[in-house]
Amino acid sequence: MTDQIERARTFHALHVKGNPIVLYNAWDPGSAKIVEKAGAKAIATGSWPVAAAFGYADGEKIPLELALDNIRRVVAAVDLPVTMDLEGGYGVEPEVVAQTVTRALQAGAIGFNFEDQIVGGAGLHDIAVQVKRIEAAAAAMKASGIPAYLNARTDIFLKAKPDAHDKALLDQTIERAKAYEKAGASGFFAPGLGDEGLIEALCSATALPVNIIALAHVPPRQRLAELGVSRISHGPVPYRQMAEWLEAKARLAISG
């Protein structure tokens, strides 16, 4: 446990406003070792690529047992902190979320993404509901003795087209960031957000380290750093690019 505690502390320290940690998302032990070799400071899984690598759709379709076994193998394969995408915690009830978090920590993870969208449903959990879920996750972390990193994710921007991102959505996002911070979150994740002004405003409005995904419409790394971002992840992009390359090579080999 001592090693896991040290990795957790290291991971927290990597989140620096203006000097963001870059997480090039992996999906299994092999991809994690490749990312480590490339010079990564930490490893992060993404729910979409992990599910796809095992033949499942995203949205907690991959059995939790399989996802935990995968993270256990990833942790054993690298010498870096490993954070896991837990989606919605594999259950709505706070006690279920707490159990899932506990099991992820027992598997060796030192942090996790935890989203507020209703997995398998529509829309987002009400703030009051999500706060209870985050509080349960934070309590499970404290009980474990591992100073893990809870990256509280909101899907407000992800569920709206980029041209619809405006101050009204930003205000809703800031309200959630403040509520999630009080509930025990370590960081705040706003996937889909790419507007420079909104990113800068969000980073200024919350004390939590802000995480942005490097999508096509998102500013480059250096600009995100200037805007105050503390963490840049790549989500499903690496897996999708790998899959496109593999399919193209396979087609060429088969047809040639």
Task: Please give the chain's pLDDT, 256 residues, in tens.
Answer: 789 999 999 999 999 999 999 999 999 999 999 999 999 999 999 999 999 999 999 999 999 999 999 999 999 999 999 999 999 999 999 999 999 999 999 999 999 999 999 999 999 999 999 999 999 999 999 999 999 999 999 999 999 999 899 999 999 999 999 999 999 999 999 999 999 999 999 999 999 999 999 999 999 999 999 999 999 999 999 999 999 999 999 999 999 7
Single-letter residue type at 1: M
Look at residues 8, 34, 25, 4 and name the one whose alpha carbon lies nearest to residue 191.
25
Q: Who's near 187: CB < 8 A, 6+ residues apart?
A: 15, 149, 150, 151, 152, 208, 209, 210, 211, 230, 231
Domains of the chain from N-terminus onward: 2-255 (3.20.20.60)
The two three-digit tokens of residue 3, written as one number: 């090693």
Look at residues 143, 137, 140 and name the one whose alpha carbon lies nearest to residue 187.
137
What predicted TM-score, i.e. pTM, was given to this entire model?
A: 0.96
